[in-house]
């Protein structure tokens, strides 16, 4: 499986060449419940690490999706505008949100690996 990194805000990041694919974790989509709407950033938008990049709305709440790394949005998952439930069905796969061309690949080093993320969410319950 590809090397996936995680943020404390429950986003995942998967390297894809000089870009990264970003979405929310299974834990996050479970906490949100049924996702009913996703607002994605515009292609070409520059995002800063830790800054708001997207919004996800569920039957329970609306929540910001933060950029775990800085860069330029190079693609968005168009499928989510018509089928936001893909986030619930496959958060780590077809439910991805957007791709960013990295401005500083070293930022990935500050994110958690899977074992560290599992420990982090176990500490939340």
Check residue 17 and give its pLDDT: 86
Q: What is the pLDDT of residue 1?
A: 42
CATH architecture type of domain 4-119: Beta Barrel (2.40)
Domain ranges of the chain: 4-119
**pLDDT value of position 30:** 95
Question: Strand 52-58's sheet: what is its strand order?
Answer: 35-39, 52-58, 62-66
Residue count (the chain): 125
CA distances from 89 to 18, 64, 92, 105 (A): 27, 20, 9, 29
pLDDT tens digits, 74-108? 999 999 999 999 999 999 999 999 999 999 999 99
Q: Give the pLDDT band of residue 18 (cuts 50, 70, 90).
A: confident
Name 13's Cβ contacts closer than 8 Å, sequence gap at least 6.
4, 5, 6, 7, 20, 21, 22, 68, 69, 108, 111
């Amino acid at each position: 499986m590809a090397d996936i990194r995680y943020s404390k805000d429950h986003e995942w990041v998967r390297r894809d060449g000089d870009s990264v694919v970003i979405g929310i974790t299974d834990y996050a989509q479970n906490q949100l419940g049924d996702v009913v709407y996703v607002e994605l950033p515009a292609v070409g938008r520059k995002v800063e690490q830790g800054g708001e990049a997207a919004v996800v709305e569920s039957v329970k709440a609306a929540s910001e999706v933060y950029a775990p790394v800085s860069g330029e949005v190079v693609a968005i998952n168009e499928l989510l505008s018509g089928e936001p439930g893909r986030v619930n069905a496959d958060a780590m796969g077809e439910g991805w949100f957007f791709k960013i061309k990295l401005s500083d690949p070293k930022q990935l080093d500050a994110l958690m690996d899977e074992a560290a993320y599992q420990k982090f969410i176990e500490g939340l319950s």
